[in-house]
Amino acid sequence: DQQVKQNSPSLSVQEGRISILNCDYTNSMFDYFLWYKKYPAEGPTFLISISSIKDKNEDGRFTVFLNKSAKHLSLHIVPSQPGDSAVYFCAAVQDSGGSNYKLTFGKGTLLTVNP
Amino acid sequence: NAGVMQNPRHLVRRRGQEARLRCSPMKGHSHVYWYRQLPEEGLKFMVYLQKENIIDESGMPKERFSAEFPKEGPSILRIQQVVRGDSAAYFCASSRTSTARGSPLHFGNGTRLTVT
């Protein structure tokens, strides 16, 4: 029972263009969503997050959009750079339920940004 | 600026042996969380510990796995009688208090366990 789904295992974009990574969730109790970036042989690094009371959060080149009715979120990277090449994990948690350390992760999307 | 430190980075064990994974939290942090990433999967929560206490072990397999966070020293994740299915990357995260609302977990670089 996968509660967080990243249906695209991989994505390839040209440097300078937009990268859009998608994530769907099924548990309506999730109220806080995060994106992590992971390089090989390293731990996941926190990138950006969004609370369910918002529909957009922006941090530099990274923007996360949340569509609660569709239970869908996406990460936009503009412009994409070769250093962005990594695996991106979507994660969700019931932040208000007292167990906000118990993240549920998707399987990840491998982003490759070509020079 | 030491983050969460995990060792060893790589661990190879034969089936039936014991594996011990160590996690030193960030300075001043007394809450530790262990996650496991199986091949081709996302990370999955295993256990949450405070100093000398297990707070939530709902993600831990019922047998062969145990975790501790003693008053002094690192947190230890112990796997007895390892099997091939235990081969995975094990990640640790820490926090100063129980995670505040909207506060993300920060992970160490993990221990990659290979069971031969």
pLDDT tens readout for residues A31-45: 999 999 999 989 999
Phi first, then psi: what are they for B37, rounded to 5°? Answer: -120, 105
The count of C-alpha atoms lying within 13 angstroms of the C-alpha of A98, restricted to the half-sphere facing its C-beta, is 2
Distance from CA of B17 to the nearest CA of A (A): 24
Distance separating alpha carbons of residues A29 and A71, to the nearest angstrom: 11
B48 at the A interface (CB within 8 A)? yes
Residue range B111-115: average pLDDT? 97
Distance separating alpha carbons of residues A105 and A5, to the nearest angstrom: 8
Please list every residue in chain A whose beta carbon sits closer than 8 Å to the beta carbon of residue B31: 101
Distance from CA of B100 to the nearest CA of A (A): 8
* Residue A94's pLDDT band (cuts 50, 70, 90): confident
Which of A5, A103, A109 to mutate to probe the B interface, most B CBs <10 Å?
A103
Q: Give the nearest chain B residue to A35 (CA atoms).
A: B104
Shortest CB distance from A107 goes to which of B42, B95, B103? B42
* Residue A99's pLDDT band (cuts 50, 70, 90): confident
Let me know: does B3 contact B29? Beta carbons within 8 Å: no
Q: Which of A63-77, A90-104, B5-19, B70-84 has the lowest mean pLDDT?
A: A90-104
Place of tokens 């609660």: A68
Please list every residue in chain B whose beta carbon sits closer than 8 Å to the beta carbon of residue A41: 9, 109, 112
The secondary structure of A56-113, three-state, reads: EEEECCEEEEEECCCCEEEEEECCCCHHHCEEEEEEEECHHHCCCCCCEECCCEEEEE
Which of B6, B43, B97 to mutate to probe the A interface, most A CBs <10 Å?
B43
Residue range A82-94: average pLDDT? 95
Cα-to-chain-centroid distance, residue A50 = 10
Q: Encoding tokens for residue B72?
A: 């002094």
pLDDT given at position B2: 65
Closest CA to A5 of A26, A33, A20, A19: A26
Across chain A, mean pLDDT equals: 94
